[in-house]
Structure 1
Amino acid sequence: MSVDVLNETDSAVDEVELVDLARYVMAEMRVHPQAELCLRLVDEATMTVLHEKWMDLPGPTDVMSFPMDELRPGRDGEAPEQGVLGDIVLCPTVAAKQAAEAGHATAEEMLLLTTHGILHLLGYDHAEPEEEKEMFELQRQLLLTFLAGRGRPRA
């Protein structure tokens, strides 16, 4: 799986861990092994422009997902689709504020937001209560299993 990280900020981010997480989530969701994903880290001004342009909402947000080939999770007995999964745009300063409010590290918030963004790229949403329950439970499981395996050597 090809995962590129474009850090356009001054924020110190563990790009290797973000890539490891992205690959883990994509593998668990049975995304084609040659699928492509781009993680773009931007400042609040850039995120504000994107948020207003694409969501018609004011101010910066934490994460936005821009699907490309509308890939979906693989299913048993079916070959996964090959293509470009899309782009996830993250705002580390917004993530840092949210992490402080939630009482955990910014790095953990960035991992959560990356997982969240990938699920959006795969067609998950949280507009309706049932969708939210399904997406957030899957997000929680993926993140917890990734974090539990953190101490293992990287492949």
Structure 2
Amino acid sequence: MRLKVDFHDQTETLTPEQIVLIENLLNKAAEIEGIEEGSEVSVSFVNNDEIQEINREYRNIDKPTDVISFALNEQDEDELAVIGEGIPNLLGDIIISIPKTIEQADSYGHSFERELGFLAVHGILHLLGYDHMTEEDEKIMFSRQEEILAAYGLKR
């Protein structure tokens, strides 16, 4: 597999099949996006209280959200890039709220797995620099998400 995924299910609710689904889907995204072999990402599944605390601390938004990503390989202008042979490309962390995933799956009328996959792909695209701050950027990011989900076969 192109991507090593480190999972942390703090909710202890996901099945082994759901974990495999997300691992395979993230690897499909890595393949489509041309992420280098051996790159790493961390995915944590949390409750609403935990993601609200993270959202409040890092984004100054005091409410739960569905997914938050923290890119590790972004650097400021005054920072030096750490490169070298044998050093893995650490993409960052994706944090997904399981209660929000359930709520949104119900609201959109599709499966929990489809929503979980959507959020995981959304998270990894943020790690790769995609954003949706403008209407144009949102179009690009959301069409890329749908392209990856369709290529994997995870449809609504």
- TM-score category by the smaller chain? 0.7 to 0.9
Is residue 48 of structure 1 aligned with residue 30 of structure 2? no
- Specify the alignment match of 1:32 in structure 2: 36
SS state at 2:153 partner? helix
- Specify the alignment match of 2:96 in structure 1: 90
TM-score computed with the length of structure 1 as normaliser: 0.85
TM-superposed CA distance for 1:82, in Å, is: 5.3
Distance 1:69 1:10 in 2: 29
Question: Percentage identity across aligned positions?
Answer: 30
Partners of 1:32 and 1:82 within 8 A in 2? no
TM-superposed CA distance for 1:20, in Å, is: 0.5
SS state at 1:137 partner? helix
Q: Show the 5 A alignment for 1:61-100.
A: 61-70=65-74, 83-100=89-106
CA displacement, residues 17-59 of structure 1 (integer Å, 9 cap, x when unaligned): 1101111101110001111001100111111100111111121
Partners of 1:62 and 1:90 within 8 A in 2? yes
Is residue 8 of structure 1 aligned with residue 14 of structure 2? no
Distance 2:153 2:98 in 1: 20
Distance 1:11 1:64 in 2: 19
TM-superposed CA distance for 1:130, in Å, is: 0.5
Partners of 1:41 and 1:91 within 8 A in 2? yes
CA displacement, residues 102-131 of structure 1 (integer Å, 9 cap, x when unaligned): 001111100000000010000000010110
Q: Structure 2: 5+ residue runs without aligned partners?
A: 76-86
Please, which of 79, 102, 110 is the counterpart of residue 116 of structure 2?
A: 110
Distance 2:12 2:44 in 1: 13
Q: Which runs of 4+ in 1 moved over 3 A?
A: none
- Specify the alignment match of 1:141 in structure 2: 147
TM-score computed with the length of structure 2 as normaliser: 0.85
Q: Structure 1: 5+ residue runs without aligned partners?
A: 72-80, 149-155
Distance 1:68 1:29 in 2: 17
